[in-house]
Amino acid sequence: MRPREPLRRAPGARRSRAADRGGAARRARRRRCRARAGTRAQRRADPLLAPRSRDLRRGARRTPRRACRGARRRDGSPLPVIRIDSHDALDLSLYRRIVRDGEPVELASTLLGQVDERRAAMLRALEAGTPAYGVTTGLGYMSKREIPPTDRPALQRSILLGRSVGVGEPLPHEVVRGAMLLRLTGFLSGDAGVSSDLCRLLAELLNDGWKPYVPSGPHGAAGEVIPLSHLFQTLVGEGFVLEDGERMLARDALAARGLEPYEPGLKEGLALVNGAPLAPALAVQLVDRARPLLEQATLSAALATALVGASARTFSPRIGRLKRDPHQVAVQERLLELLGGGEWEDRPQAPVSLRVVPQVHGAVLDVLDGVERQLEQEVRAVTDSPLYLLAADGEPEGFYPSGNFHSQALAFGLDALAIAFAQLANLAEKRLHRLLDARFSGLPEQLAAEPGRHTGASVLHKGVVALCVENRMLALPASVNVSDTSAGQEDFQAFAFLGAEKLRRLLDNVELVLAYELLALRQARHLRDAPLPAPLERACDELAEFVPPLLEDRPLGPEVQRVRDLVRSGRLLA
């Protein structure tokens, strides 16, 4: 166990690590634990298996001390190590490589030294009697209560345990892993006042594939204290992690890695839970899921246009340029690409649901790009509170209360995405209804092989109607809700988590809407056996492998599931 932090004497900058964390002794104990861990630690330390390091800014390479567990590509070659030498060097591309692709990270020693220097300055301020929320005081409504110096170290562990009230299925590992990375990079600014030991541990567990079990809800607090307490209490040996899909006590998982439970120093327990890394981690996953759905909807719209014989004139990029809308132009260009240049004959106007595809899909693309721009800021953000800032711009050094834990911009963005994709599904529903109507499509009524005797594809539309009604309920904004908690001290919330959960369910529905529409389009293609542009012909051939033509009534539920899986796979977009 690490000795508790004394506050009787201010340590100097160079000795702060030992005085604050027992750092050298702790690292020596870890080395002994790793040696006892046996062959796995030896295998990870094998220089022949070790990945190569890539400097984040300069492209320099160096050999890391050890490879990360599982840090290999599918072909067996080692993954490059991403060297972080600045807290704000992360962007969405690197975030995805680390979080999704599993590329390991290495922290620059100079950056860790700066973290320890800032922590030493913070500890000197505390020794001088400077009050600090959540360090020398209680939290929330209890922030007016002073904590005796002898109880302050224990408070940091208590913060991690007393707020773990979540229940339910775990959040996706990609989201949890993203939160770990963003908390780490935020700490590397030094503004949170944590130690380099904590940063090293986070990097080590991130590289090792650590999977805390973080319940999916409910999360109604200001900031993200409930899920973050579940996530980071695993560092101190409390709570659960997932190993091979099974829940395991965190203390046992640490022991299996040759690690002791971490002893949080002053302010470190608070720093672990008082930030906002989960909202951007959730948003990145949802944006990455939503973008292919927009592309799939555009493919379906092009296929519907070709099958009903509508004119491509409405998709002329000149129309979008007159609107001064680059997103609309991008969609119009993509539609013409799918239509192989299009049929430019002057035909009677198609229904509005076919003519406004560029306007609707372009607006959805604009919302997606806007949220992604916000995420580029969020992955570089420092969201701790309070922050310990050095003197600058005429302002003094000290603790600064912060509201950066409040993810309002992302909450707005998630609500906007829900509205946008609900409208995307509404448009697909109208296209499907027109496709079933012989007056508009020129195809047999309800796409039946023998109208009247067979139902055809009409019931597909009934399922889509129900999904769109549910989507309109899910599109109601979460970000306009507020409630008092902590006896009125925490009286405003962003509810980004609720917005993310609504959007996840809505995107599930959009997948199904597109699957229903594609099933009907496959039948329309069978009934109108005429040449199609090559991109659309490839998509129809892919569909035909999964769905036979509807020659008589049969249960279509299993086929809807198969087409939904096809949508998720992205094969139609290849």
Angle between the 496-527 and 557-569 helix axes, to the nearest 10 degrees?
110
- Same domain assignment for residues 139 and 230: yes
Phi-psi region of 446 (alpha: psi -120 to 50; beta: other; left: phi over 0): left
Per-residue pLDDT tens for 339-379? 998 666 766 778 899 999 999 999 999 999 999 999 999 99
- 11 occurs within a structural domain: no
- 566 occurs within a structural domain: yes
Per-residue pLDDT tens for 308-325? 988 889 999 999 999 999
- Same domain assignment for residues 248 and 304: no
Which of 274, 290, 325 terminates a domain? The answer is 274
Q: What mean pLDDT is reported for the chain? A: 87
- 28 occurs within a structural domain: no
Structural domain including 161 reads 82-274
The CATH number given to whatever domain includes residue 502 is 1.20.200.10
- Same domain assignment for residues 305 and 252: no
The CATH number given to whatever domain includes residue 201 is 1.10.275.10
Closest CA to 354 of 319, 309, 324, 317: 309
- Same domain assignment for residues 203 and 320: no
- 38 occurs within a structural domain: no
- Same domain assignment for residues 269 and 317: no
Per-residue pLDDT tens for 541-562? 999 999 999 899 899 999 999 9
Per-residue pLDDT tens for 126-164? 999 999 999 999 998 888 899 999 999 999 999 999 888
Which of 274, 291, 322 terminates a domain? The answer is 274
- Same domain assignment for residues 125 and 248: yes
- Same domain assignment for residues 157 and 262: yes
Measured distance CA(531)–CA(510) in Å, rounded: 29
- How much is the pLDDT for 490? 74
- Same domain assignment for residues 254 and 122: yes
- 134 occurs within a structural domain: yes
Min mean pLDDT across 188-192, 331-335, 360-364, 447-451 is at 447-451
- Same domain assignment for residues 352 and 222: no
- Same domain assignment for residues 371 and 435: yes
Contact partners, residue 222, CB within 8 Å, separation at least 6 = 405, 406, 485, 486, 490, 492, 493
Per-residue pLDDT tens for 496-513? 989 999 999 999 999 999
What's the domain count of the chain?
Answer: 2
Backbone angles phi, psi at 188, to 5 degrees: -70, -10
List C-alpha distances in Å: 133 to 267, 317, 401, 562.
9, 57, 8, 54
- 21 occurs within a structural domain: no
- 69 occurs within a structural domain: no
- Same domain assignment for residues 306 and 424: yes
- Same domain assignment for residues 252 and 305: no
Contact partners, residue 401, CB within 8 Å, separation at least 6 = 133, 385, 386
Which of 207, 241, 274 terminates a domain? The answer is 274
Identify the residue with better confidence: 198 or 309: 198
- 156 occurs within a structural domain: yes
